[in-house]
A and B are shown apart, each in its own frame.
Chain A
């Protein structure tokens, strides 16, 4: 046994912080999140959403003899299979995907704290800033997986049930199948970034509590309150600050040509929420009692 720790720099191992490899931590985190039953159930249900919507539209179009089945993007989807994943993602962005992001963020810090497992990681030790980075990585990756999964089941269901060899845009033009896939990819990216933004806020709340439920309630409360505020005309000046403002513009990806301004604005707004959320989460994680 060596007792040299008191003397500065006697050995290189005692004066330099030793850390577990970051990739090993990330892999371990991801494995754990993807083993959690509610993550798997949530992913499975999200993957079913485009399938259910696709089946619904297929039934509706086959029985209504070509009459319009709705308005806006939903009406376009009939016979336009590649629009199904985009439609499903835009629908899910209103509630299901924010719920997923909030749930992941809630389990990441508050859930681990309530199980006493956060303490174990801190004592390993995983540095506090590193711990937050690992947690953020887990939330971000699984959010991306959820959105991608919806896009994939949407593409498959859309092409199989609704057909179409390209994509009919809301501007009336047609895109090739490959270009259409590009639009789906762009949607995945935009939706994921918006979920990351909400998850960042949720993670900040998660750093403050041991009760995962509080995190989910606060995050969904934020979404609902933002939605309500955005429809009050007297509060128009508030629009640029609301997280839900960007969500409405995601549907613009099916315009041709693309109008980038609202999309870029949405990403910038999400970036602001990301910075704010992670700053608060970091400040709290560094001082939190374990």
Chain B
């Protein structure tokens, strides 16, 4: 997949800056089990990178090594320009993270829990702690439940509190591991808003998720992990573009259209309400011309974005998957 490395003009300035995080040949073996193998990940400064992968693909282990929580078996990690885990004291104050679900004391209220973590934040002045905690609570919409014990929190409230602890201090880099786990649709939307706000403020964000729609809606970059390896990474748009070679034609006359296209050796197959045309050997204008000349009524022609779901399925299936997009894949949902 060669097209991924091309940088668009808007990203050019970010490309010259050192990446927020970078790993080289990262490997982690837990008692004979290889959790992460030879991962070269790069999180460009200012990007929102979505880390995708099936369960057990090494997402969380990679993140834990990025944050210096786990020492790699082999390879290097650089976080905000500092070698990890030795540079933790230099890099981590600027990094906020929600890893492996929220961790808090059940007998303390949400606010007290945050106060405790705030006390440990190097960048917070002692006098600013109360304000910072209050703002973080407000930002994640927990104001009403802030003084209740964490024990009684719902899954979504726990997740929000975890998010709040990652946002206690203005960060340069925020790492969110499955941030929408257990959140209702409103909560999911709020997390997206938070990520968008962070991005707008110039903060680099790394979001790991198995929810593709979430990544597609919020990320500028994507890295796909499978079985401990990075199988693809790059700008989201470029990744989708590379896999997109279909044209969706709305027409009631599918049989007529198929015949016309086959005559010109253009591969196509019927789908509900029309035809799905493979553009690898043709172009959109040519296809439309063929159809119109054959007298096929065309209601709508749309270049079909491959959708992250297709891409993901292709990349994480076992073996022989890097071929051209085949026409048997599911049709993605309507473009949002």
Chain A 189-201 interface mask (CB, 8 Å, partner B; 1/0): 0000000000000
Q: Contact between B89 and A19 (Cβ–Cβ < 8 Å)? A: yes
Q: How far is the CA of A208 from the CA of B108 in the complex (A)?
A: 25
A20 touches B121 (CB 8 A): yes
Q: Known A5-B18, A35-B107; judge A123-B124 contact (CB<8 A).
A: no
Q: Does B111 contact A (CB under 8 A)?
A: no
Bound together, the chains give a CA A243 to CA B281 distance in angstroms of 82
In the complex where A125-B88, A290-B69 touch, is A115 in contact with B64 (Cβ < 8 A)?
Answer: no
**Please, how many angstroms separate the alpha-carbon atoms of A24 and B115 in the complex?**
11
Q: Which of chain B's residues has its CB closest to A131's CB?
A: B120
Contact of A123 among B92, B112, B123 (CB under 8 A): B92
Q: Are A126 and B104 in contact (CB under 8 A)?
A: no
Contact of A289 among B69, B104, B115 (CB under 8 A): B69
A121 contacts B by Cβ under 8 Å: yes
Find out whether the CB atom of B90 lies under 8 angstroms from the CB atom of A117: no
Contact B106 A20 (CB under 8 A): no
The chain B residue with its CB closest to the CB of A117 is B103
CB pair A116 B100 closer than 8 Å: yes
Other-chain contact of A120, B17, B71, B81, B103 (Cβ < 8 Å): B103
Measured between beta carbons, the chain B residues less than 8 angstroms from A20 are: 119-122, 124
Instruction: Write the B75-98 contact mask toward A (1 if CB under 8 angstroms, else 0).
Output: 000001110000011111101010
How far is A7 from B82 in the complex, measured between Cα atoms in Å? Answer: 10
Encoded as 1 (CB less than 8 Å from any B CB) or 0, chain A from 13 to 26 comes to: 01111111100110
Number of interface residues of A (CB under 8 A): 38
Least distance between B90 CB and chain A CB atoms (Å):
6
Given the known interface contacts A17-B90, A20-B124, the answer about A32 and B202 at a Cβ–Cβ threshold of 8 Å is no
B186-208: which residues lie under 8 A (CB-CB) from chain A? Answer: 202-203
Q: In angstroms, how far is the closest chain A Cβ from the Cβ of B169?
A: 10
Closest A residue by C-beta to B104: A117
Within 8 Å CB of B119, what residues of A?
A: 20, 24-25, 27-28
Contacting B116 at CB < 8 Å: which of A3, A18, A32, A287? A32
**CB-defined contacts of B68 to chain A, threshold 8 Å:** 122, 125
- Interface contact A18-B123, CB-CB below 8 Å: yes
- Of B46, B95, B100, B116, which one neighbours A28 at CB under 8 angstroms? B116
SS of B interface (majority): loop
**Cα distance A35–B104 when bound, in Å?**
14
Q: How large is the interface on B (under 10, 10 to 19, 20 to 34, 35 or more residues)?
A: 35 or more
Of A24, A124, A287, the residue contacting B126 (CB under 8 A) is: A24
Question: Smallest Cβ distance from A221 to chain B, in angstroms?
Answer: 26
| Contact, CB under 8 Å: B107 / A121 | no
Q: Does B67 contact A (CB under 8 A)?
A: yes
Tell me, in angstroms, the Cα distance from A287 to B123 when the chains sit together: 25
Residue B105 at the A interface, CB < 8 A?
yes
- The reply to whether the CB of B223 lies closer than 8 angstroms to some CB of chain A is no
In the complex, which residues of chain A have a beta carbon less than 8 angstroms from the beta carbon of B100?
116, 119
Report how far A21 CA is from B105 CA in the complex, Å: 22
| List of B residues within 8 angstroms of A21 by Cβ | 126
Q: Is B305 an interface residue (CB 8 A)?
A: no
Which residues 10-45 of B sit at the A interface, judged by CB distance below 8 A? 17-18, 45
Q: Which of A14, A115, A122 contacts B69 (CB 8 A)?
A: A122
Q: Which residues of A contact B203 (CB under 8 A)?
A: 1
Which residue of B89, B95, B104, B124 is within 8 Å of A115 (Cβ)? Answer: B104
User: Out of B18, B67, B89, B101, which one reaches A17, CB within 8 Å?
Assistant: B89
Cβ of A62 to closest chain B Cβ, rounded Å: 43
* B45 CB contact (under 8 Å) in A3, A37, A125, A290: A3
CA distance A25 to B117 in the complex (A): 9
In the bound complex, residues from chain B placing their C-beta under 8 Å from that of A120 are 103-104, 117, 120, 165
Interface flag for B260 (CB, 8 Å):
no
Q: For the complex, what is the distance from the CA of A14 to the CA of B203, rounded to whole Å?
A: 17
> B126: which A residues are within 8 A, CB to CB?
21, 24
Q: B122–A18 contact, CB under 8 A?
A: yes
Interface residue B268 (Cβ < 8 Å from any Cβ of A):
no
A28 and B80: CB pair below 8 A?
no
In angstroms, Cα B67 to Cα A3, docked, is 19
Closest to B45 in A: A3
Give 1 or 0 for each of B214-256: 1 = CB within 8 Å of chain A CB.
Answer: 0000000000000000000000000000000000000000000
25 contacts between A and B (CB under 8 A): A1-B46, A1-B202, A5-B81, A5-B90, A6-B18, A14-B90, A18-B90, A27-B119, A28-B116, A28-B119, A28-B120, A119-B99, A119-B100, A120-B103, A120-B120, A120-B165, A123-B97, A124-B93, A124-B120, A125-B68, A126-B120, A127-B88, A127-B89, A289-B69, A290-B70
Interface residues of B (CB under 8 A from A): 17-18, 45-46, 64, 67-71, 80-82, 88-93, 95, 97, 99-108, 112, 115-117, 119-124, 126, 165, 172, 202-203
Q: A35-B107, A116-B101, A125-B93 given; name 10 further pairs at CB < 8 Å.
A: A5-B90, A16-B90, A18-B93, A20-B120, A24-B119, A28-B120, A117-B104, A124-B121, A290-B64, A290-B69
